[in-house]
């Protein structure tokens, strides 16, 4: 799996147009940055950039990874800024949780950086609040909740972080992989892999399937993102996940992502505090 340094690397190369300026921006030597790029390409099994004159131009795989990097790093920066405001001049404990399991890929790294900047403030990830983070916030069991829909509670302040796109994740050989998008009604014939959350908390069910009266042929609940992806690769079902959370697999061709419907399914993320 790629790490935050890889995401910062591809973003810097695109913004600066080449290795030399990207290395200066990241305060790295040119050989070190070239080695990082080679490591990322080897992990993904595909080229991310091609040279055109003096510039490095992203391949199709590189463009997908750059979009994912922009989304993830933007979210990290916004979350860090909110946490920095909470921790400025304070000592104590900040309890954080999020309603989306995929964010646990990047949240620990972001919090480690926060703890280095504010060593007097301890940060605790409250995993058990993942299923109902807003309730945990209101009940005083959390200080910060990262959620995909704002709270209606007037005591809860919500600040928008960013928008992302949910895509239908398929094995490359799946019958639906040939199209440009997947129609919602086609899910009725499929085994749908879903996080172990109530359907009331699922954007897919609340915004698409339930209003259209659609039910998957079979619903399988899975706790971990990695398990969902392995099952999809094995042809045991399909999933609907954030594009940035599966970008490395899409770029490497291990999985295929298709829009849900011609317009796609997008959602907004918020940081919630009292």
Rounded distance between C-alpha atoms, residue 148 and residue 162, angstroms: 10
| SS3 sequence of 6-31 | HHHHHHHHHHHCCHHHHHHHHCCCHH
pLDDT at 83: 67
Cβ distance 245 to 156 under 8 Å?
no
**In what helix (H) or strand (E) does residue 87 lie, and over which residues does it extend?**
helix 60-87
How many angstroms separate the CA atoms of 130 and 98, rounded? 5
User: 70-162: same fold as 4-58?
Assistant: no
Domain boundaries, the chain: 4-58, 70-162, 163-267
Torsion of CA 51, 56, 57, 60, to 10 degrees: 80
126 or 114, greater pLDDT? 126
Task: Kindly provide the residue ranges of all beta strands, DSSP E only, lying in the chain, ordered along the sequence.
Answer: 49-52, 55-58, 92-98, 121-125, 144-147, 157-170, 181-182, 191-195, 218-222, 238-242, 256-260, 265-273
How high is the pLDDT of residue 172?
A: 94
**Does 63 have pLDDT greater than 70?**
yes
Q: Look up residue 235 and give its DSSP letter.
A: T
- pLDDT, position 113: 74
Stated as kind and residue range, the H or E segment containing 272 is strand 265-273
pLDDT of residue 4: 82
Selected from 3.40.50.720, 3.50.50.60, 3.40.50.11030, 3.40.190.10, the CATH number assigned to the domain covering 70-162 reads: 3.40.190.10
Give residue-wise pLDDT tens across range 174-213.
999 999 999 999 999 999 999 877 787 788 998 999 999 9
Question: What does the pLDDT read at residue 91?
Answer: 58
- Tell me the pLDDT tens digit for each residue of 231-264: 999 999 999 998 888 888 898 899 999 999 999 9
| pTM greater than 0.85 (yes/no) | no
Architecture of domain 4-58 in CATH?
Orthogonal Bundle (1.10)
Encode pLDDT of 218-231 as tens digits.
999 988 888 999 99
* CATH architecture for segment(s) 163-267: 3-Layer(aba) Sandwich (3.40)
pLDDT of residue 38 exceeding 60, the answer is: yes
User: Which phi-psi region, left, alpha or beta, contains residue 253 (left: φ > 0; alpha: ψ -120 to 50)?
Assistant: left
- Mean per-residue pLDDT over the chain, rounded: 85
- pLDDT (mean) for 96-101: 76
pLDDT of residue 109: 67
Quickly state the pLDDT bin for 84 (edges 50, 70, 90): low
pLDDT of amino acid 262:
92
């Amino acid at each position: 799996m790629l790490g935050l340094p890889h995401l910062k690397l591809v973003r810097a190369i695109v913004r600066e147009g080449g290795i030399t300026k990207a290395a200066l921006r990241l305060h790295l030597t040119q050989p070190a940055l070239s080695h990082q790029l080679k490591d990322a390409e080897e992990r993904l099994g595909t080229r991310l950039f091609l040279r055109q004159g003096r510039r490095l131009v992203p391949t199709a795989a590189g463009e997908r990874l750059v979009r994912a990097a922009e989304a993830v790093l933007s979210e990290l920066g916004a979350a860090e800024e909110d946490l920095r405001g909470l921790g400025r001049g304070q000592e104590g404990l900040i309890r954080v949780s999020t309603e989306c399991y995929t964010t646990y890929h990047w949240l620990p790294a972001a919090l480690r950086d926060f703890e280095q900047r504010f060593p007097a403030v301890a940060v605790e990830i409250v995993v058990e609040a993942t299923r109902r983070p807003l309730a945990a916030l209101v009940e005083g069991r959390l200080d910060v909740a990262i959620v995909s829909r704002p709270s209606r509670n007037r005591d809860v302040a919500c600040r928008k972080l960013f928008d992302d796109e949910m895509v239908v994740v398929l094995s490359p050989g799946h019958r639906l992989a040939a199209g440009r998008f997947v129609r919602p009604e086609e899910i009725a014939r499929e085994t749908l892999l879903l996080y172990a959350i109530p359907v009331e908390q699922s954007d897919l069910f609340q915004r698409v399937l339930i209003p259209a009266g659609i039910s998957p042929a079979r619903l399988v609940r899975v706790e971990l993102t990695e398990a969902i992806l392995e099952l999809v690769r094995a042809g045991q079902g399909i999933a609907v996940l954030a594009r940035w959370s599966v970008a490395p697999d899409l770029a490497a061709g291990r999985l295929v992502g298709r829009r849900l419907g011609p317009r796609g399914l997008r959602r907004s993320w918020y940081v919630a505090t009292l």
